[in-house]
Amino acid sequence: MATIPAAQPTGAHRRDRAAKPASGEPEAVLKWELPALAGVLVVATVLYTWGIGQAAIHPFYGAAARSMASGWRAFAFGGLDASGSISVDKLPGAFWPEAASVWLFGPHTWAVAFPQVVEGVLTVWLLHRIVRAWAGPFAALIAALVLTLTPITVVLTRATIPDTALTLLLVAAAGALQKAVSSGRLLPLVTCGVWVGLAFQAKMLQAWLVLPVFAVVYQFAAPGTPLKRALRVLLSGAVALTVSCLWILFAWVTPAADRPYLDGTSNNNPFTLVFGYNGLSRFSSDSTAFGAVAGTAASRTTGNTGWTMLINDTVGPQVAWFLPLALVAAVLGIVWRSGQPRTDLLRTGFLLWGGWLAVHAVVFGVSNGNHAYYTAVIAPALAALAGGGLALFRSEYEADGPRRVALPAAIALTALWALVLDWPTRFVSYLLPVALMLAACGALGLWTRGPRTSPRMVQGALAAGIAATLVVPAGWAASSLDPHYAGSSTSPMAGPVGFAFRDGHRVRSVSRVGIDRPSARDAALLGYLTAHRHGEKYLLATQAAYTAEPLLRAESEPMLVMGGFTGSTPFPTAGQFGTLVSTHQVRYALLTTRRPGTPTTTWVKSHCARVRPSAYGRRTDGSLTLYDCGAKR
């Protein structure tokens, strides 16, 4: 009987390997592994860097990255302008690489996006290493391919949003945990805590979602006595907490006068920023928890919530192509290994990645609204489960027992699910027949294998089946290379879904926010302000970040962003602004009708003179009005 050449240990070999996790002998590298991995990394690099000069720079984060590159205060505290008067409404960790890149290479759009590309490619490479150590080279290659071609991974890596850094750091943490479980050593477990703490600097509380899963997996599967395992889990948790809170404590002990005002807070407290504004307000209608700025929760509701969020018409095509396969793999991987020793590594991997997926799905389901790109953090879990599941099913297929049906069934299920996800839009309808034909060839070829079937025919059937699972998501992923199908810079999504596509699909050219590329209107305003600046600290005061963003991306100048991101943060107060005007630290203020008024904007309107739009190159005010607080009314 012909068999498929094994690409991973099977049956008894796997059990032997699980019994000796710390042998220290690396598995031999097969001759096809390095070329295959290199090919995947090349594909990832091309997908992530194509058109990087026109990358989807987030207006708010892009402005902060340029400002943070201008000085230590803005860099350390995440200052939104060069003087660091007010911070971004997140922790600055994810923006440090972007600011460093701008400082090193200059204020270019590609320089802001470059760290995201590096983080994305590193995540693919790291996941390959982790899955290979867990389930073998065949599983690792599939996992790397799935992650590379997940549409939300592609569009997010081509943007400037913290979730790419979060995903990389959490994958590194999962790798450290896996090593701690397999080796029984303490250092990898401590390292896992460090990685989670660093991930917290990128996306705050979302980084902690994996901690319960990591704790359960280590307590259940690691060698040693229960007490020893529990103490080690507590130690690793303490490390994660300490590293997570480093910036919070740093900001907390720094006198308020020596750091920016913390956006999103009514009390200038870093704990409010993290646990209120970016914490409880995600799950409650009470957006003022811990002193967070009012109205935050309402501004974040996107409609992407509930238990069906991951498979709705908007989010599903971004990330869920391998969701059924991942779920089946997690269940069968645990059930089929139920008779193995507690420390069985193969079952441990399915527990780890399956738990990662389950916890995030629950949190997304109960939160009060999610951007589609939030789901990028589950892409590594889906990829690992897909790779590990197909490798396990292949192993059982080789054993020629009753479980052999799992491999062709998994291929058929995944191809049919692609039809379900693509059907509402039929975006890549030309690929659906290709996927179904490949799936039929692969599944039938594997199902009907007989004693006289040649190994090459079986290998061809398997290759066709795997290609069938990848071709449709690859079409969605590649579509994002066209700016028409990449979503907006604030909400990147592949394909014809989301408000950005519906609002702009009739526009022939898509404009992208960039760095150091002011529009003619913004350049004229900046020229006017510069010409009329006479020693003031701030070039301009603006109502909310919305008004300041294009100017901050164009020029690295001190600008007083009144009200922060939402426009409702109580900084500066009317009294503070009056003092700044009287001490000649600020002269001009730019107000907008697109944000609610505040006591400070009321002060501006009553004490400052309106500047004629023609003075700074505009015909009418539009939604913006410039005031001169140094002139008499």
The string of pLDDT tens digits covering residues 223-239 is: 999 999 999 999 999 99
- Asked if the model's pLDDT at residue 6 lies above 50, the reply is no
Q: Which amino acid is at 404?
A: R
Which has more confidence, 511 or 557?
557
Q: Which two tokens stand for residue 271?
A: 């704990």
Give which of 361, 405, 410 is closest to 388, Cα–Cα.
410
535 CB-contact burial (10 Å; exposed 0-12 / middle 13-18 / buried 19+) = exposed
Residue 471 forms part of a structural domain: yes
386 CB-contact burial (10 Å; exposed 0-12 / middle 13-18 / buried 19+): buried
Note the pLDDT of residue 502: 65
Whether residue 551 sits in one domain with residue 489: no
| Token pair recorded at residue 579 | 């003092």
Interval 151-172 mean pLDDT: 95
Residues 6+ apart with CB under 8 A from 117: 45, 48, 49, 52, 157, 158
> Do 393 and 477 share a domain, yes or no?
no
Average pLDDT over residues 466-493: 92
> Helix or strand or coil: residue 590?
strand
Can you tell me the mean pLDDT for 196-200? Answer: 98
Q: Are residues 106 and 200 in the same domain?
A: yes
Question: Tell me, what's the pLDDT at 509?
Answer: 57
Q: pLDDT tier at 16 (50, 70, 90 boundaries)?
A: very low
333 falls within a domain: yes
Q: Are residues 499 and 613 in the same domain?
A: no
pLDDT at 298 over 60: no
617 and 582 both lie in a single domain: yes
Are 538 and 586 in contact, with CB atoms under 8 Å apart?
Answer: yes
- Mind listing the pLDDT tens digit for each residue in 446-470? 888 766 667 888 899 999 999 999 9
Q: Helices (H), strands (E): how many in the chain?
A: 27, 5
Residues 49-108 have pLDDT tens digits of 998 988 888 999 999 999 999 999 999 999 999 999 999 999 999 999 999 999 999 999
End of a domain among 459, 477, 504? 504
Burial label for 548, CB within 10 Å (0-12, 13-18, 19+), is buried
What is the domain-level CATH number for residue 571?
A: 3.40.50
Which range is least confidently modeled, 67-81, 362-376, 433-447? 362-376
Structural domain of residue 452, as residue ranges? 411-504
Q: How many structural domains does the chain have?
A: 3
Average pLDDT, integer, range 139-146: 98
pLDDT one-digit tens code per residue, 252-291: 999 999 999 999 999 999 999 999 888 877 776 656 667 8
- Examine residue 306 and state whether it is found in any structural domain, yes or no: no
Report the chain's mean pLDDT, rounded to a whole number.
Answer: 90
